Amino acid sequence: MGGVGAMVKGASYSYAVFCGSFLRSPRLSFSIHNKKKKLLKFRSFSSKSTCSSLQPPDVSRLAKTAQISLTPDEIEEFAPKIQQVIDWFGQLQDVDLQSVEPSIRAETENNLRDNVPETFDHRDAMIGAVPSYEDPYIKVPRVLSMD
């Protein structure tokens, strides 16, 4: 398995090498996604397209979905790194996966326990861990309706 372009010495080249092999596979075809933002290139490996409907990651929006309040500095710091990794994920688009069944996990048996309720012995310890508790309620602030 060869490397893509020049083998760059240093910490990151091994990744480029390992990803190199099937990026150069001749039977693959791909189109360059027409992105509004400037594509970030990682060494000599440029971002490949996904389906043209996939927008690049919008970190602010993702943070809202994930319920993490990022500072503007964090958004600026994370965006290029996330972009880089998502681009790297994109290489799976070019692999022929027709008629391959997805695996949820390694094979495991179907082990269900009986549907019988049990009492948890350490209820006090569990309640003790709640930051804001007023027996018997877990206190939360008001929930605003979405605007």
Subset of 44-73 contacting another protein (CB under 8 A): 50-51, 53-54, 57, 59, 62-63, 65-71
132 contacts another protein (rule: CB under 8 A): yes
Q: Give the footprint of another protein on residues 13-42 (CB under 8 A).
A: 13-15, 17-19, 21-22, 42
6 contacts another protein (rule: CB under 8 A): no
Residue found by looking up tokens 């992105």 in the block: 35
134 contacts another protein (rule: CB under 8 A): no
- Could you please report the per-residue DSSP string of 44-111? TBPPPP--TT-PPP-HHHHHHHTT----HHHHHHHHHHHHHHHHHHGGGGGS--TTPPPPSSS-----
- What mask of x and - would describe binding to another protein in positions 84 to 123, judged by CB under 8 A? xxx-xx-xxx-x-x--xxxxxxxxxx-xxx------x-xx
Nearer to another protein, 17 or 35 (CB): 17
Task: Identify the H or E element spanning 134.
Answer: strand 133-134
